[in-house]
Amino acid sequence: MIIKIATFNIQNKYQIPNYKGIDEDGDNTHKLVSFIVENDIDILGTQEMVKGYQSRLMERLEHFKYTITGNYRLKRIGNYIPILRKYNEANSVITKYPVESTKTIPLSFLPYTPRIATMTQIMIDTIKINVINTHLEVNRKYLRQKQLNRLKKIIDNIEGYIILMGDFNMEKDNPLFQDFIKNMKNYNLKLIKTTAGTHPTMESAIDHIFVSKSLGIVTEIKVDTTLENMSDHRPVIVTLKLSKENL
């Protein structure tokens, strides 16, 4: 069995109230649905998904039997006190396979940052896969370190196959990310390396996908360039042939 996995920061202008994906370049939800369907994506992790956009995307994808999971990150009062309220960005997991469960996990509280990981368990035939989708801090190194440590703790408590994806805001040669890659090997997770950049300011990818080594064999890796008018990121698509013993 072949499955296609992708990650994409859709840059949904999450600071604009009630943004629904319609701008001078057209309707972004239509473009994203076309991308998903034409590439036959089985599991897509998106970052910067906003509420209005997510609602319209759900309506468009329902016809194609896809499910969207992922709640919104936390909101704060002033500069310090976090409260549980839906806020501007979700790290959504979009899949055509049955969803067993999903939860939103904060990545850091002290200092408070509104960064999360969405963990969604899906079933492919009899195979249970834990899909983790995240979006890490862009500017502050020490916060990225805290968030990476939190991801390690999340993964440490998972049994079974894992797909970890998202916008890590780090190229693969970043020392922090290098340490994380080495640590992931202890969990039988391998980084799927790309040869092209996923952001115009970076020579190599900052959007990454890790997969459990025993889940299957990677047969194709592609950084897609067809949606460059939609986002400042490019999606990464990985084609995976599931191991026979898993079927």
State the Cα–Cα distance between residues 200 and 179, nearest whole angstrom. 25
DSSP code of 172?
Answer: T
Alpha-carbon torsion (54, 55, 60, 61), positive or negative: positive
The rounded distance, in Å, linking the Cα atoms of 112 and 87 is 14
pTM: 0.90
Three-state SS for 125? coil
**Per residue in 45-64, pLDDT tens?**
999 888 778 888 888 898 88
What is the spatial distance between Cα 11 and Cα 233, in angstroms, rounded to a whole number?
8
Contact 123, 98 (CB under 8 A): yes
Cβ atoms of 3 and 242 closer than 8 Å: yes
Q: What is the pLDDT of residues 167-190, one digit of tens each?
A: 999 999 999 999 999 999 999 999
* Domains of the chain, earliest start first: 2-246 (3.60.10.10)
Strands 236-242 and 2-9: antiparallel
186-190, Cβ contacts within 8 angstroms, sequence gap of 24 or more? 187/155, 187/156, 187/162, 188/212, 188/213, 188/214, 189/155, 189/162, 189/164, 189/213
Place of tokens 């592609």: 222
Burial class (CB in 10 A: 0-12, 13-18, 19+), 182: exposed
b/e per residue 223-233 (b: at least 16 CB within 10 A): bbeebeebbeb
What residues have CB less than 8 Å from 72, skipping those under 6 apart? 51, 86, 87, 88, 89, 90, 104
Would you write out the chain's pLDDT as a tens digit for each of its 247 residues?
A: 999 999 999 986 655 656 666 666 567 888 899 999 999 999 999 998 887 788 888 888 988 889 898 877 655 554 444 544 444 578 999 999 999 999 988 887 665 567 889 999 999 999 999 999 999 988 888 889 999 999 999 999 999 999 999 999 999 999 999 999 999 999 999 999 998 999 988 889 999 999 999 999 999 999 999 888 788 899 999 999 997 666 5
Question: What's the Cα-to-Cα distance from 34 to each of 4, 20, 31, 80, rounded to whole Å?
Answer: 15, 17, 5, 41
Radius of gyration of the chain (CA): 17
